[in-house]
Amino acid sequence: MKLGLMSFPVLNWGPSVALARTNAGKGGDAVTSPPTRPFVVELPIPPVAQAVQTLEPAPDPAAHQRYSEFPPRMFYEIHQREAKHSFHPYLPENLIWGFDGIFPGPTF
């Protein structure tokens, strides 16, 4: 049995799924993206993550293989948070899970 996009229930996924649904019956399985203009926003440069002195709770060396051979040199505390993000000015905001609530997440 071949499963496609239309095999799954639609759960209010926004205009892109509505476009996919309306185009699916026209000429096969063709799915088109919403119309946008490329390169209207500069490439986002993510912030650099800042190292912390310790982690709370501290890592358990017994829980990590070869911890004594390769001890951590730097610690970073990054949280995954829910946030709204617009991937293009022509498209609506999407709910994302981003590192520290941003997309793209910080660099190291």
| pLDDT value of position 27 | 59
Contact of 105 with 91, CB cutoff 8 Å: no
| Whether the predicted pLDDT of 23 surpasses 60 | no
The larger pLDDT score, comparing residue 102 to residue 30, is at 102
**Cβ-contact 75, 54 below 8 angstroms:** yes
Per-residue confidence (pLDDT) for residue 7, from 0 to 100: 47
pLDDT of residue 9: 46
pLDDT (average), residues 68-90: 92
In this structure, are residues 107 and 48 in contact, taking their beta carbons and an 8 Å threshold?
yes
- Domain boundaries defined on the chain: 10-39
Per-residue pLDDT at 26: 58
**Alpha helices (H) in the chain, listed in sequence order:** 15-24
pLDDT tens readout for residues 29-70: 778 888 899 999 999 899 999 999 998 888 899 999 999 999
| Contact of 46 with 107, CB cutoff 8 Å | yes
pTM for the structure as a whole: 0.56
